[in-house]
């Protein structure tokens, strides 16, 4: 994980970091949950749309999952449950690491 982008936009402001974590927990993680639901229902087009919405957060956190989310976005038919779980896991780890790094 590379928090250089997050550092540049937050300026180390802990209040901003807390709000950012909150946004991930209330917006981004539910989108990933919806991706899983839509995948289970075979709605690949919607999975791709959701991947597009999740991508900016993955970029901001500098997660390795960027390749996975881009693959899902570009070819939703190729998405697998494991790919979506990987993205979810990395986001959760990112939140934990931000909390640890910024003591929030």
Residues above pLDDT 90, as percent of the chain? 68
Angle of CA points 32, 53, 81, to nearest 5°: 30
pLDDT reading at 1 higher than 90: no
Residues 57-97 have pLDDT tens digits of 998 888 888 899 999 999 999 999 999 999 999 999 999 99
Residue 31 has pLDDT above 90, yes or no: yes
The pLDDT of 36-51, averaged and rounded, is 97
Domain ranges of the chain: 4-102
What are φ and ψ of residue 47, in 5° steps? -60, -45
Percent of the chain past pLDDT 70, that is, above it, reads 100
Q: What is the mean pLDDT of residues 43-67?
A: 92
- Residue 87: CB atoms within 10 A of its CB come to 28
Q: CB 7: neighbour CB atoms within 10 A?
A: 13
Cα 103 to Cα 84: distance, rounded to the nearest angstrom: 28
pLDDT greater than 90 at residue 3: no
Instruction: State the pLDDT at residue 4.
Output: 86
């Amino acid at each position: 994980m590379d928090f250089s982008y997050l550092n540049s936009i937050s300026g180390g402001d802990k209040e901003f970091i807390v709000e950012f974590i909150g946004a991930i927990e209330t917006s981004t993680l539910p989108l990933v949950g919806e991706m899983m639901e839509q995948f289970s229902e075979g709605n690949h087009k919607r999975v791709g749309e959701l991947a597009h919405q999740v991508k900016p957060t993955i970029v901001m956190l500098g997660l390795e999952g960027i390749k996975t989310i881009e693959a899902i976005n570009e070819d939703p038919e190729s998405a697998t449950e494991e790919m979506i779980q990987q993205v979810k896991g990395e986001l959760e780890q990112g939140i934990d690491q931000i909390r640890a790094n910024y003591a929030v």
